[in-house]
Amino acid sequence: MNGERAETILRLLAEAELRNQLAPDPPPWAGGPGAGRVKVYVVGQALSAVGALDRETVEDVLADFDLAVGLRRLHRARPAITRRAASAARLTAQLSPGRPAPPPNPPGPPPAIQAQWATVAGGGPPESTGSLGPAAPVPADPEQDAADRFVPIGLTVPFHQGGLSGELYLMSFAHTRAGARLIVLWGKPTLSRDHELGLQQAELFPVDLFTVADNRGSAYELDFTPANGSEWISQINLRPVPPDGIRWLEVVAPPGPAVRINLDPASGPPGGEPEVSAANLSAGEQLLIMLAEELLMVAAQNSPAMRPELPALSPRVMQTMGTGLGDIIAALEAVDMLPPLSPVPAQLAALCESLRIDGHEIAAAPADELPEPWLSLLTYYQRRKPDTAQVRDGFAAMTAALPELDGIRLALVGLHNTQGTTVLHVLARGLRREERLGPHGADLDFPLSFWLRDNGGRWHAARPIGWQPTDPEHSIGLMLVPPLPRSTAWVEVLAGGRSGEVRARLPLRWGAPP
Amino acid sequence: MTDSPKGVWFHCLPRCETYLPCGAGRHIVRWEAGELRLLSHPDAEAELVLAALGGEKARCVEVAQAWERHAEDLSVLAIGPRGPADEIAVSWDDVDAEVRASQFGGWTAYAPQAGGRHPGPGSRRGPRPLAPPVPARYQQPMQDREQAARRRNDMLSLLALGYGFQVRLIGQVAEAASGWPREAGEKIRPSLVAAITARLAPVAEEWLGIDPGQVVVTLHRGPGWGSAELIGRGEQRRLRFSLPAGWLALVWAAGLALTGRHLVVAVERAGWPDARVLALRAPGTEPVPLEVHATAPGPASGGLDVRPGAADAPHWEVWEV
């Protein structure tokens, strides 16, 4: 790794941007006020993401750049950078539709991107960055496969007590070396009149009502923890860990009856064996793919059809996300993190053209073809009419343990729809939660490309929106864009890393509410 | 400071001075022979001791301290002017406003004077904790912000001295950097490459009409002045230079970079107002020695508001080839 080269590239970029931004008549490629900083920022993040440059150096370069620009603008009438920041902040504020509870995060640009837009354009301190590179590996666990057991459930446990009624949806059972637990989803409770009037305090998640026992008569202590940073999705950890060989568990809540969970994996709907194919992506290619997918997801969530009331905003959001892509590619090539003949820059250029992003400055000619998932999401973005009805609430039982990719093991343990958003729940090993951000909000803590194809042929991109870090497993919620309709009978999972790609076909067993 | 066989880096630079608001009056600060001198504070050391005991610290002394703090700070190269056309206008009012802003932001390490009076220009008390104890988790961000505010205040103060002082500080930083051992020098090479590129590019544009973005610099180490070549055509044209860090100090800071349509690459005999330099007529040619002579137009106006601006920078002419 040539850190000196990377730092030189970043400093020279800062120099060029300072020259462009301060020119009396800035050239068109300067991209307007604030764009220079965005470029320096995202290129610094990219170099840091692939491990070519440390975070402190990026921060130093940015601090110098900010001071150099700020001091030269001291006596200008209206600091353009500040205008840009205000504009970005306004823009992102307008893009946050804000919704009531169940889904962990609202649609629209993820908080990371929203914060980044305001920070980047306005000159605030950079967010943390980290290395995408051949992962600072979390110690491998050779015995994992032997111990792991994942069972889809798809059952509902109703409860009623003291004026509080509701349902607990059992999505799956997972038994790994980290323990045994049920992955559950809380339904929206019904409150008595006293609760509604505030005369009696409501316990929205009445965990004490539930008991669990197995076919041998052993009872378990239950430990509820939020699964993905949201209390609506929980893990019920069973203590002690059930022994091997138990056939079923019964979950009971008043007034009953008990709901029996068959723990024989064969009892679930049949799925296909995962198919693995090798790949050999450079760290730069992997980062560019993550950027492309981020771009696609933000585009899909902010398409003109989706937000007809704000027609001017979507293009501006996309322009912002395209800023600096050409510089990122040039920098990655210069530090040997992106092969000169890589097809990814051309694909990214084609994607930008398709999204009408004209400030990307990617030197490569746009590719003639795009990966099928990208095309599918582009089609969704370009639809002329918004979806007529949001997807119905519900959950789907499904489980699959995917083969290891780049040292990361994922187990799919269910998905649910709430208020038009689909969240896929996974358990992950081999990851570290450090809240590292890459350029334009790319989540470096989850360095995988992750897609689902439904039985209708439409692809759905996935990215983390909720994360419950535990040792050694993390519980992660992946938001799917577009959401998955309840008519979906099966999905094909496509997970891609630098070293390979995994495909697995999974049937879905949809559950309540009806 | 390091002496080279061809003279000390600042020998091509004349004395430079300015007035700054200090206490109730205006004091002269002078740069001469590579040093900052406080003419109105003959015993600055004693004043520092008094300030440490709670007395007021004179602005002149603060500026001198800031100068010392940043005399080897490569950020000066990234922030300071790129040439006479890039004059950074910072007034002492700006400095005061910045200090006040950082104080009222609640993060600064400096307290206002006793009695509640706003600190006037050039008089601040020494460091004193402002607030009750801060929870541990906020201490690091707080320290970072304090450090950033102090750095910004330092830079503003140093820039407020005027262009003449700014280029001399850049020269001093570059000279210090060129003296670093080779191993350590590798760590600072990116900053130096960017600093030279930043200042050579506008000179090259004036010299050849080349786009500043087409100037490519590498850092020269070892004997000789370096190298220069022009390659490619059209958008692929590149002017490649290999220059030592000392070029910034000996040549650029002295205002010698472009003299008589020659690009000066080295100083053979440093001196003021006469010197002998090595200069290129065109890229790819061998540098020729030139005898050069400087004139300094001097401050455009007299009085207490004089600050050495870019217009006061020395103007060198070829005396004899």
The confidence band for B29, taking pLDDT boundaries of 50, 70 and 90, is very high
Helix (H), strand (E), coil (C) string for B140-153:
HHHHHHHHHHHHHH
Q: What is the pLDDT of residue B194?
A: 98
Q: What is the pLDDT of residue A307?
A: 58
A273 SS3 class: coil
Q: Which residues of B touch A60 (CB under 8 A)?
A: 75
Q: What is the pLDDT of residue A157?
A: 92
Nearest by CB to A8, which of B78, B151, B194? B194
Lowest-confidence region among A190-194, A483-487, B143-147, B274-278: A190-194
d(CA A146, CA A422) in angstroms, rounded, equals: 31
Give me the residues paired with residue A223 across strands: A237
Q: What is the pLDDT of residue B110?
A: 33
Q: Which two tokens stand for residue A513?
A: 């509410």
Cβ-Cβ contacts under 8 Å for A468 (sequence gap 6 or more): A225, A226, A227, A228, A229, A235, A474, A475, A476
Phi, psi of A181 (to 5 degrees): -155, 160
Q: Report cis status (omega within 30 of 0) of the bond before A311.
A: no
Lowest-confidence region among A488-497, B127-136, B224-233: B127-136
Q: Which residue of B has its CA nearest to A60?
A: B75
Q: What is the pLDDT of residue B131?
A: 52
Lowest-confidence region among A123-132, A263-272, B80-89, B310-319: A123-132
pLDDT at B65 over 90: yes
Q: Which residue of B has its CA nearest to A5?
A: B190
Q: Pick the closest to residue B169 from B297, B306, B74, B57 (CA basis).
A: B74
Q: Which residue of B has its CA nearest to A17?
A: B213
Distance from CA of B79 to the nearest CA of A (A): 4
Q: Which residues of B touch A331 (CB under 8 A)?
A: none
Cβ-Cβ contacts under 8 Å for B28 (sequence gap 6 or more): B17, B18, B19, B39, B40
Per-residue pLDDT of chain A (514 residues; tens, 9 = 90+): 578 999 999 999 999 999 887 766 655 545 555 778 899 999 999 999 999 999 999 999 999 999 999 898 887 654 343 333 333 333 333 333 332 233 344 444 444 444 444 444 444 433 333 356 434 445 545 555 556 889 999 999 999 887 788 889 999 999 998 889 999 998 877 776 666 666 566 667 788 889 999 999 999 999 888 776 666 788 899 999 999 889 999 999 988 889 999 988 666 556 678 899 999 999 999 999 999 999 999 888 877 666 555 555 556 677 888 999 999 999 999 999 999 999 999 999 999 999 988 889 999 999 999 999 999 999 888 776 666 667 788 899 999 999 999 999 999 999 999 888 999 999 999 998 888 889 998 999 999 999 999 999 999 999 999 888 777 889 999 999 999 999 999 999 999 999 999 999 999 988 866 5
Q: Which residues of B touch A7 (CB under 8 A)?
A: 190
d(CA B200, CA B243) in angstroms, rounded, equals: 10
Q: What is the pLDDT of residue B116?
A: 34
Q: Which residues of A touch B75 (CB under 8 A)?
A: 60, 63-64, 67
Which among A10, A12, A327 is the top mutation candidate for probing chain B, defined by the most B β-carbons within 10 Å of its own β-carbon? A12
Hey, is the C-beta of B212 within 8 angstroms of any chain A C-beta?
yes
What's the predicted TM-score (pTM) here? Answer: 0.83
Q: What is the pLDDT of residue A161?
A: 83
Q: Pick the closest to residue B169 from B90, B75, B262 (CA basis).
A: B75
Work out the burial of residue A385: count CB atoms within 10 Å of its CB; fewer than 13 is exposed, 13-18 middle, 19 or more buried. exposed
The confidence band for B50, taking pLDDT boundaries of 50, 70 and 90, is confident
Q: What is the pLDDT of residue A349?
A: 97
Distance from CA of B230 to the nearest CA of A (A): 19
Q: Which residues of A touch B170 (CB under 8 A)?
A: none
* Residue scoring higher pLDDT (B242 or B187): B242
* Residue scoring higher pLDDT (B303 or A96): B303
Q: What is the pLDDT of residue B300?
A: 45
User: What pLDDT, in 10s, does the model give residues B231-258?
Assistant: 999 989 999 999 999 999 999 999 999 9
Give me the residues paired with residue B279 across strands: B264, B288
* Residue scoring higher pLDDT (B30 or B55): B30
pLDDT at B303 over 60: no
- When mean pLDDT is compared over A218-232, A430-444, B60-74, B135-149, the highest value belongs to B60-74
Helix (H), strand (E), coil (C) string for A31-73:
CCCCHHHHHHHHHHHHHHHCCCCCHHHHHHHHHHHHHHHHHHC
Average per-residue pLDDT in chain B? Answer: 84
Q: What is the pLDDT of residue B144?
A: 82
Contact assignment for A74 to B94 by CB distance below 8 Å: yes
d(CA B80, CA B199) in angstroms, rounded, equals: 10
Q: What is the pLDDT of residue A309?
A: 56
Cβ-Cβ contacts under 8 Å for A360 (sequence gap 6 or more): A322, A323, A325, A326, A348, A349, A352
User: What pairing do the DSSP bridges indicate for beta strands A490-496 and A500-507?
Assistant: antiparallel
Residues 185 through 204 of chain B touching chain A, CB cutoff 8 Å? 186-187, 189-191, 193-194, 197-198, 201
Answer left, alpha or beta for residue A159, where phi above 0 means left and psi between -120 and 50 means alpha.
Answer: beta
pLDDT at B14 over 70: yes
